[in-house]
Amino acid sequence: MADNLSRTSPPVFALPDHALVVLEGPDAVAFAQAQFANDVVSLAPGHWQWNAWLTPKGRVIAVFALARRTDDSLWLVLPDHPAGDFAEALRRFVFRRKLKIAIPDGIAVNGSFFAPILARGATLGDTDGVLEFDASGDGGERAWRIGPAAAVDAASQAAWQVADLRHGLPRLPASQREQWTPQQLALDRLAAYSVKKGCYPGQEIVARTHFLGKAKRSLQCFSAAGVIVDGTPVREGDRDVGEVACAAPDGAGSVMLAVMPLEHAGHDVVADGHLLTRQPLLDGLRR
C-alpha cells in the first residue's frame, strides 16, 4: 500500500498560510464541543467537518477544518491564523480538562490541485504518514495533504486562495476577525455551525438569529480588475452597501467576498474606485 501510494502521489505545494493545531486526550472532544460552533461529538473518527470558533458576542474568530482522527485526537487545519496564537488562546479555557493542545513538529499543510488518493467528501485518507482531506468542489478537484513540508509555489498558493473564495470559504485576515457572525459569513453553506447542539461561545446569538430570521447580510463574491484589500467599503452610488471581508489577488485583479445586504442585486457597485463584477458562489465544499 505504501509503495503504491508513493508512486501515485500527485504533485503538492506548501500552504504556509495554513497552520495545524492538535487536540489530544480523553477530554479533547468534550472540550472542542464546548468551545466550537459545530457538533464535534457527532463527528465519527476518520471524518472531518468545517467548524468555527466564536466570541461570546457571536463573532467569528476563525474558520477551520476539524478532523477527528481517533476517538481522542482532533486535528485542526487553520487558514490565516497563527497556530501559536490560536493554541494559546484555547489553552486559557482548558482548566482541569484532560487534553493537550499542541502544534506538531515536522509536518505541514500542503495542497494539491489533483483528486485525493483516498479521501472522499468528509472521509479522511490516512496512509503512509500523510493525512489527506478532500477539498474538492464544483470548481475542480483539490486535496489537503498533511505531512512533510512541500516546496513553496506562490502561484499555486494564490490559486488555492482564489478557489477558497470562489467556493465561499472566508479567508479572514487579522483585521476581519471578530467582526462578523456566522450567518453574515454564510457559514451555513459549509455546514460549519450548529443551532441544535449544546452551549458554546456565541451560541445564543447564533440561535436567535437563525430562529428569528434576523440575518440581514451575507456573503457575495465579486471580481475586480484592480487590487482590492479587506475592509474596503463596497459602494453603490454615494452610499456604502457592504464591506470586503477578504480578498485575494487573481492575476492583475482581485477576487473577493463581501458582506452585503441579503436582497442586494445591484450591478453598479465599486470598491476603491474599481467596478465590481458579481460572481456566483460555487457549491460542493460543504462537508
H helix or E strand, kind and range, residue 127: strand 125-127
Residue labelled with grid coordinates 505531512: 147
**Letter string b/e over residues 108-141, b meaning 16 or more CB atoms within 10 A of that residue's CB:** bbbbbbbebbbbeebbbbbebebbbbbbbbeeee
151 has pLDDT over 50: yes
Together in a domain, 44 and 101: yes
Tell me which of 71-75, 137-141, 235-239 is least confident: 235-239
9 has pLDDT over 90: no
Together in a domain, 158 and 213: no
185 is a domain residue: yes
Together in a domain, 134 and 221: no
Together in a domain, 101 and 123: yes
Whole-number pLDDT of residue 211: 83
41 is a domain residue: yes
pLDDT-based confidence at residue 266 (cuts at 50, 70, 90): confident
Together in a domain, 151 and 54: yes
Q: What CATH number does residue 51 fall under?
A: 3.30.1360.120
Together in a domain, 99 and 42: yes
Together in a domain, 117 and 191: no
Whole-number pLDDT of residue 55: 98
Whole-number pLDDT of residue 8: 63
Residue 75's domain comprises 2-166
Together in a domain, 30 and 151: yes
Burial class (CB in 10 A: 0-12, 13-18, 19+), 3: exposed
Give the other-Cβ count within 10 Å of 267's Cβ: 9
Together in a domain, 23 and 156: yes
Interval 128-156 mean pLDDT: 96
One-letter amino acid at 17 equals: D
Q: If we measure between CA atoms, which residue out of 165, 201, 207 comes closest to residue 80?
A: 165
Query: Between β-strands 18-24 and 233-236, what pairing exists: parallel, antiparallel or unpaired?
Result: unpaired
284 is a domain residue: no
257 has pLDDT over 50: yes
Together in a domain, 158 and 262: no
165 has pLDDT over 70: yes
**Final residue of a structural domain among 118, 144, 166:** 166
Q: What Cα–Cα distance (Å) separates residue 210 from each residue in 163, 220, 262? A: 28, 19, 14
Interval 7-17 mean pLDDT: 86
7 has pLDDT over 80: no
**Final residue of a structural domain among 110, 141, 166:** 166
CA distance 123 to 119: 6
**Final residue of a structural domain among 145, 166, 187:** 166
286 is a domain residue: no
Question: Reduced to 3 states, what is the DSSP secondary structure of residue 191?
Answer: coil
285 is a domain residue: no
How many structural domains does the chain have?
2
Whole-number pLDDT of residue 265: 79
Interval 223-237 mean pLDDT: 96
Interval 120-147 mean pLDDT: 95
pTM equals 0.94
Tell me which of 47-61, 133-147, 199-213 is least confident: 199-213
Together in a domain, 182 and 153: no
Whole-number pLDDT of residue 5: 43
Tell me the pLDDT of the chain averaged across its residues: 94
Whole-number pLDDT of residue 1: 37
Q: What is the chain's length?
A: 287
Whole-number pLDDT of residue 216: 87
160 is a domain residue: yes
Whole-number pLDDT of residue 2: 40
Q: What CATH number does residue 253 fall under?
A: 2.40.30.160
109 is a domain residue: yes
Together in a domain, 29 and 109: yes
287 is a domain residue: no
4 has pLDDT over 60: no
